[in-house]
C-alpha cells in the first residue's frame, strides 16, 4: 500500500515537472518575435472601423495595423502630425463628381503672363492655367495634380516649375529662367482632382492591393503563404516583426510547417477590381492621365543673357531651399546650390573613389547606380555572390585602387521577384553595423515600394533610418551620406493605382522634410527626371543616371573653390 502511494506521488511529481517545462517552453517561444504564431485578430485592425482624430489636422484617420500602438515621444508625435498636415490635398466640393464634370485637359489651357516682357536670365516667368471640365465649363475648385517644365530642345536644356493651386480652378506656375534663348513652356495634367480622391481612398482603405508571399520549406515539404504589413482575418500568423527597429511584418502560418522554416520572400501580385465603373473613367490613357495642357496663346519666350559675372553668381545660390534645385543645359545637370563636376571618363571615377567603400541601400532605382558604375568603370569587377538577378545583394571590387562597391535592397515591403529570407535586411540595422569614416560613402533611396501604404508606415521607416544615420554621423562625422529622392515615371490606368507620381510626390515630400537639418546630401532625382526631355520612366535613361552619379561623386570629391 505504502509503495503504491509512493509511486503515485512520484508519478504526480513527474507530471508537474513536465507541465512546468512545457509552460516555460511555450512562454519562451512566444517571446521570440521571429517565430511567433499569433491569431491574426490580435494584431490586425485593418478591417476595423475605429478611427483616431489627428490633433493637428482635425481629420479622422482609420487605424491601420499596429501603427496606433506606436510608442512615440511628444516630439515624434508632433512631427508626424505636422508631416500629415503638410500632405493634406484639396478636395472637390462633393464626394461623388460625375465624370463629365471632372477636369478635362483638352478643354483646359494656359497663358503666359506678360509674354511681351523683355526677359533676362534670372527673371521669373509666370504662367496661369485655367481648368475646365468635359463640358467646357470652368472648374470652380482645385486639387488637380499638375507637372510643369520649361525647356529648349536645341540646347537640351530644361527645368521644372513650381505649381500653386488657387483653389478656384486656376493654377499659377512659376519658373526661373536659367539660360538664354527661346524657352518653351509645357504643362501636363497628371491626375484630375477627382482621381486624387480615389487614390487617397485606396491608400487608406486598400493597402492590401499589392500582396506578398513567402515560401516555407522543411525537408521534402514546402508551403507558400501570403504576407504583408497587415493581414486580414483571424487565421494564425507568423510574426516576423524586426526585433531592433520594431518594423512589423506578418505571414499567414503554414498548415504543417513552422514559422522558422521560411526561406524566401517575393511579390505576390496586384489586386484587381479596385474601382467602380465611374471611378475607372478618371484613369484613362490619352484622356486624363499625364496629358498635355495646350496654350491659348504663345508657349515660348525669348530670354536674353545677363552679364557673365551676374550669371555666375546666380548659378551658385546661397539658399539651400532654392527652387528649382537645378537645370539641364546640353544634357548636363547644373545644381543651383553647389558646383558639380562631370565625371566623363572612367579614370575620373576611379580617382575619386580610390580607397573607398560605397554602400548603396534601397530599391531598383539605386541599383541602377551599381549597374552604371560597374559598366562604366572597367576595373570595377562584379564579384559573383550567387544572388538572384536584379535582387542582390551585389558586390564589385577594384583591387588595384582598393574600391569596394556594394548594393543591398531594403527590407519588406519590397516587390522583388524572390529574396532569400536571410537577405531581408532593414537599412537602419545595416547602418548600425557600419563603422563609417572619411573613406565610407553611403547612398540610400526608399520610396517606390511604400506607395500603396498609409503614410504612417513610411514615416516610421524613415524615422528608424534617420535615427541610425544620426548615430553613425555621431561616431563617424566624416562619413558621406547621400539621399536619392524619388523620380517620376510613365503612368497608365493600372500603374496609377499602385505607383502614381502623386503617391511618389507625397512620399518624396516626407523624405525631404524628415532628412532636412542633418548632415546628409540630396541627389534630386525628382527634378532630374521631370526636367529632362526623355519620356518618364521608373528606371530613368542612362544619361539621367549618369547625371545622378555626377551629383553623387561631386559630394564625395567636391570641386575646390
Read off the pLDDT of residues 56-91 as tens digits, 9 standing for 90 and up. Answer: 344 444 444 554 456 889 999 999 999 999 999 999
Predicted pLDDT at 52:
44
Collapse the DSSP code of 561 into the 3-class scheme (helix H, G, I; strand E, B; otherwise coil) and give the result: coil
User: How high is the pLDDT of residue 98?
Assistant: 97
Domain with CATH 3.40.50.1110 in the chain: 338-556
Q: Which of 444, 468, 461, 361 is nearest to 409 (CA)?
A: 361
For the 338-556 domain, the top CATH level (class) is alpha beta
> Could you tell me the pTM of the whole model?
0.88
Residue 346: the pLDDT is 97
What's residue 228's pLDDT? 94
- Regions of the chain short of the pLDDT cut 50: 1-2, 21-64, 67-68, 309-314, 317-319
For residue 361, the model assigns a pLDDT of 98
Residues of the chain within CATH 2.60.40.10 domain(s) are: 99-191+283-304
- CA–CA distance, 297 with 344 (Å, rounded to integer): 41
Residue 261: predicted pLDDT: 97
pLDDT digits (tens, 9 = 90+) for 515-543: 999 999 999 999 999 999 999 999 999 99
Report in angstroms the alpha-carbon separations of 105 from 102, 131, 193, 421, 433.
10, 7, 12, 47, 51
Beta bridge partners of residue 110, listed in sequence order: 129, 295
Q: Which is nearest to 552 in space by CA: 406, 352, 403, 409? A: 352
pLDDT digits (tens, 9 = 90+) for 143-195: 999 999 999 999 999 999 999 999 999 999 999 999 999 999 999 999 999 99
CA–CA gap between residue 33 and residue 39 (Å, rounded): 14
Residues in the chain: 561
CATH, domain range 99-191+283-304: 2.60.40.10
Task: Provide the 10 A C-beta neighbour count for residue 243.
Answer: 11
CB 488 within 8 A of CB 537: no
CA angle 472, 476, 479 (to 5 degrees): 85
Under a CB-based contact definition with an 8 Å cutoff, are residues 398 and 435 in contact?
Answer: no
Amino acid at each position: 500500500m505504502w509503495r503504491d502511494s509512493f509511486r503515485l506521488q512520484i508519478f504526480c511529481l513527474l507530471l508537474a515537472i513536465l507541465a512546468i517545462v512545457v509552460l516555460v517552453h511555450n512562454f519562451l517561444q512566444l517571446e521570440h518575435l521571429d517565430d511567433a504564431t499569433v491569431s491574426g485578430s490580435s494584431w490586425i485592425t485593418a478591417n476595423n472601423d475605429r478611427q483616431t482624430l489627428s490633433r493637428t489636422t482635425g481629420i479622422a484617420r482609420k487605424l491601420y495595423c499596429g501603427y496606433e500602438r506606436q510608442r512615440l515621444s511628444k516630439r515624434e508625435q508632433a512631427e508626424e502630425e505636422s508631416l500629415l498636415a503638410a500632405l493634406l490635398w484639396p478636395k472637390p466640393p462633393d464626394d461623388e463628381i460625375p465624370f463629365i464634370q471632372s477636369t478635362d485637359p483638352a478643354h483646359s489651357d494656359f497663358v503666359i503672363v506678360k509674354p511681351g516682357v523683355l526677359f533676362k536670365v534670372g527673371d521669373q516667368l509666370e504662367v496661369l492655367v485655367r481648368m475646365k471640365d468635359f463640358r467646357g465649363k470652368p472648374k470652380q475648385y482645385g486639387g488637380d495634380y499638375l507637372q510643369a517644365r520649361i525647356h529648349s530642345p536645341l540646347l537640351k536644356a530644361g527645368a521644372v516649375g513650381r505649381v500653386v493651386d488657387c483653389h478656384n480652378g486656376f493654377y499659377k506656375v512659376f519658373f526661373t529662367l536659367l539660360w538664354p534663348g527661346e524657352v518653351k513652356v509645357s504643362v501636363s495634367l497628371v491626375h484630375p482632382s477627382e482621381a486624387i480622391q480615389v487614390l487617397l481612398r485606396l491608400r487608406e482603405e486598400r493597402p492590401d492591393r499589392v500582396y506578398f508571399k513567402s515560401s516555407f520549406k522543411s525537408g521534402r515539404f514546402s508551403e507558400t503563404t501570403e504576407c504583408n504589413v497587415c493581414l486580414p482575418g483571424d487565421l494564425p500568423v507568423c510574426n516576423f516583426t524586426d526585433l531592433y527597429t520594431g518594423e512589423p511584418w506578418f505571414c499567414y502560418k503554414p498548415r504543417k510547417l513552422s514559422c522558422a522554416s521560411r526561406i524566401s520572400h517575393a511579390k505576390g501580385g496586384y489586386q484587381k477590381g479596385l474601382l467602380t465603373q465611374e471611378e475607372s473613367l478618371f484613369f484613362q490613357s490619352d484622356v486624363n492621365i499625364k496629358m498635355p495642357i495646350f496654350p491659348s496663346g504663345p508657349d515660348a519666350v525669348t530670354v536674353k543673357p545677363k552679364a557673365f559675372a551676374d550669371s555666375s553668381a546666380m548659378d551658385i545660390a546661397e539658399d539651400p531651399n532654392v527652387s528649382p534645385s537645378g537645370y539641364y543645359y546640353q544634357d548636363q545637370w547644373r545644381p543651383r546650390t553647389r558646383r558639380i563636376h562631370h565625371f566623363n571618363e572612367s579614370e575620373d571615377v576611379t580617382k575619386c573613389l580610390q580607397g573607398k567603400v560605397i554602400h548603396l541601400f534601397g530599391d531598383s532605382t539605386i541599383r541602377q547606380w551599381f549597374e552604371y558604375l560597374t559598366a562604366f568603370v572597367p576595373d570595377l569587377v562584379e564579384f559573383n555572390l550567387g544572388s538572384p538577378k536584379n535582387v542582390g545583394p551585389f558586390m564589385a571590387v577594384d583591387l588595384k585602387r582598393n574600391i569596394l562597391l556594394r548594393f543591398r535592397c531594403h527590407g519588406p515591403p519590397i516587390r522583388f521577384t524572390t529574396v532569400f529570407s536571410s537577405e531581408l535586411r532593414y537599412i537602419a540595422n545595416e547602418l548600425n553595423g557600419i563603422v563609417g569614416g572619411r573613406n565610407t560613402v553611403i547612398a540610400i533611396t526608399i520610396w517606390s515600394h511604400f506607395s500603396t501604404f498609409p503614410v504612417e508606415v513610411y514615416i516610421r521607416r524613415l524615422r528608424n533610418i534617420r535615427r541610425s544615420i544620426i548615430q553613425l554621423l555621431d561616431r563617424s562625422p566624416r562619413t558621406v551620406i547621400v539621399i536619392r529622392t524619388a523620380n517620376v515615371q510613365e503612368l497608365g490606368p493600372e500603374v496609377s493605382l499602385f505607383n502614381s507620381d502623386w503617391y511618389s510626390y507625397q512620399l518624396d515630400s516626407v523624405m525631404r522634410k524628415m532628412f532636412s537639418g542633418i548632415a546628409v546630401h540630396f541627389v534630386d532625382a525628382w527634378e532630374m527626371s521631370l526636367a529632362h526631355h526623355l519620356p518618364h520612366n521608373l528606371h530613368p535613361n542612362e544619361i539621367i543616371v549618369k547625371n545622378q552619379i555626377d551629383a553623387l561623386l561631386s559630394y564625395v570629391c567636391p570641386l575646390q573653390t
